[in-house]
Amino acid sequence: MRILLLSDTHGKLAVINSLAAETRADAVIHAGDFGFYDDESHQRISDRELRLHINHSGLDAATRDELLALPREQRNEASRRLCPLSELPLFIEGQQRFEVPVYAVWGNHEDKEVVEKFFRMELQLPNLFVLSHRKAHEVGPALVYGVGGNLLPGPKMLQGSIAGGSGRIWGTLSQYVELVATVDGHVGHAGPRIFVTHVSPGKEPFIELLAARTRADYTVSGHMGAPCPMTWNQFAVRSAGEAGARLQQALLETRKSCVDANGSDPERVEQAFLFIGQIPEETTRLGRGARVPRWYCGMTHVNLPDADVGYAVLDLTHEGARMSTFSR
């Protein structure tokens, strides 16, 4: 099974098919900022989000300046023509299609209304599987699961199932609890587990905590704007004690930010974090008789740049796994 790993296409979706063909991939995993926009998204995103899109559109400087100087409604119409938010409408209309299965989380720059349509399955596309906290997928020998959006501890984490608006999305505590429960339902899965998240576990230790809690073998993330694909694990950068303390500190700080939030239900919040914090007590041998948590040296993190900068390929066989990374 060959899986293409990529992220941050920002609506330029044709590259998914071209890279899948180039790498002979059987499936694709996408780590967010996919381009979940439709023809009405211009009306819903904030002026800041639209300006950000124009500035990163690839248009020449003079055209960008002209667009940014227009009043909002005129800017909407001009940007629809010159730099559409996404190629997704072409897929929705059937003019294009994904050639291999694509498993994608949403990022932090997306239209919440479009994401919710996919989440509720009101909108479905052939070969596109939007990863959410309520379903894990068997992709060859792997169990693939994930959660999208930004990580914003505090009041925003206590909002509804999918939170955000105006072109931004963030994760919520209820999503994280449901994700853990979903993966717990696959306790008998014997193959590798791939946790897909927009936010990097290297940047946000709470995300690594979720990965350890769900016994992930790999995490796949984007969001950082990295200059090349980065593959690492905690064994390479910290002692086992330091790595464990990092996760516990993330749990305590994130829990406190939610308990202290106005309008929170402290008992419910405490129960949620107690559930999330139950990291499996699996260990593995690490030379000279020492034993360490399995996740410490058995969980590999893959942080990806924008798709036009680089990507990775994961080959899964009966003998094991092989990772290759590619940079432009």
Partners of 193 in beta bridges: 143
**Residue whose pair of structure tokens reads 């300046």 in the numeric block:** 65
Within 13 Å of residue 314, how many CA atoms lie on the same side as its CB?
A: 28
- pLDDT for residue 181: 98
SS3 (DSSP) at 327: strand
- pLDDT for residue 314: 98
- Residue ranges for the chain with pLDDT beneath 70: none
Within 13 Å of residue 95, how many CA atoms lie on the same side as its CB?
A: 7
pTM metric for this prediction: 0.96
CA distance 328 to 317: 27
- Burial of residue 38 (number of CB atoms within 10 Å: 0-12, 13-18, 19+): middle
- pLDDT for residue 228: 95
* Planar angle of CA 132, 133, 136, nearest 5 degrees: 75
**Residue whose pair of structure tokens reads 């996740």 in the numeric block:** 295
Fold for 2-42+94-327, please state it: Purple Acid Phosphatase; chain A, domain 2 (3.60.21)
State pLDDT tens for residues 218-266. 999 999 999 999 999 999 999 999 999 999 999 999 999 999 998 889 9
**Residue whose pair of structure tokens reads 């330029």 in the numeric block:** 12
- pLDDT for residue 264: 87
On average, the pLDDT of the chain sits at 96
- pLDDT for residue 161: 80
The DSSP secondary-structure symbol of 95 reads S
- pLDDT for residue 286: 85
State pLDDT tens for residues 280-313. 999 998 877 789 999 999 999 999 999 999 999 9
CA distance 4 to 16: 9
- pLDDT for residue 318: 81
Residue 262, φ and ψ in degrees, nearest 5? -60, 135
Residues of the chain with CATH 3.60.21.10: 2-42+94-327
| Nearby residues of 131 by Cβ (< 8 Å), 6 or more positions away | 103, 104, 105, 137, 144, 145, 146, 147, 148, 196
